[in-house]
Amino acid sequence: MPLIEIEKLTKVYDDGTIKTPVLHGVSFTIDRGEFVAIMGPSGSGKSTLLHLLGFLDDYTDGVYRFNGEEARDYTGDEVAHIRNKKLGFIFQSFNLLPNTTVLENVKLPLLYSEIPEREWNDRAMTAIRSVGLEHRATFDSSKLSGGERQRVAIARALVVEPEVIFADEPTGNLDSKSGDAVIGILQKLNKESGHTIILITHETDTAEHADRIIRIKDGTLESDTKVAQPHRAGSGTLHK
């Protein structure tokens, strides 16, 4: 059974006067443990698709099954549990709290979890070590480099031990060396820890680090292909 299955998924934004179609009947499946890149130019609908798959927005028509269940059949509490426990999100803009330490940023998702507070520091430090930033745990996150801040964002996504990690243009604000390190971490999370990775990007070189590329153009699925030999990124750090 696929982890994610969508059939003829559509999304139309309606502000009451103007309807703007964004996705037009997109269909595909993603299995557990896959590393999939969803690729397309700006305005293609790929980020909208991420928001639908991540339960951050509702679709207009079609079918979305997560773990074999239709997304609209989940209760509000069940959706909150999925978002807080099963899904992790990494965004291009990092979305870290300013004037707050690395440790405090990584602990943030635990505030909304069922994990006892006494375990928060240990869990956060485990996630921080997994991205090689234990020496920065007490640093103000705003004083870190872009690459370090993105690694903090990855650690924050990992702290609840999610099943799926959504990475929306995670290298967009980084230099090539830092971007390569971030992609290396995602590859290791996939290969060594079995996380399902869904990477949103407009860059071919970034997409080719995945095992499979789904190309979206003008809100439709243009192609869905396996990558024969995924690029292997460099200096990602992951301690099991």
SS3 (DSSP) at 53: helix
The encoded tokens of residue 33 equal 């443990």
Element (H, E) at 79: helix 76-81
One pLDDT digit (tens) per residue for the chain, 240 residues: 899 999 999 999 998 899 999 999 999 999 999 999 999 998 899 999 999 999 999 999 999 999 999 999 999 999 998 998 899 999 888 888 888 999 999 999 998 888 899 999 999 999 999 999 999 999 999 899 999 999 999 999 999 999 999 999 998 888 889 999 999 999 999 998 899 999 999 999 999 999 999 999 999 999 999 998 888 876 444 443
d(CA 30, CA 196): 9
Separation CA 201–CA 211 (nearest Å)? 14
- For β-strands 196-201 and 164-168, DSSP reports them as parallel
SS3 (DSSP) at 38: strand
In Å, how far are 4, 77, 157, 160 from 110, measured between CA atoms?
A: 25, 17, 10, 7
β-partners of residue 213 are 37, 225
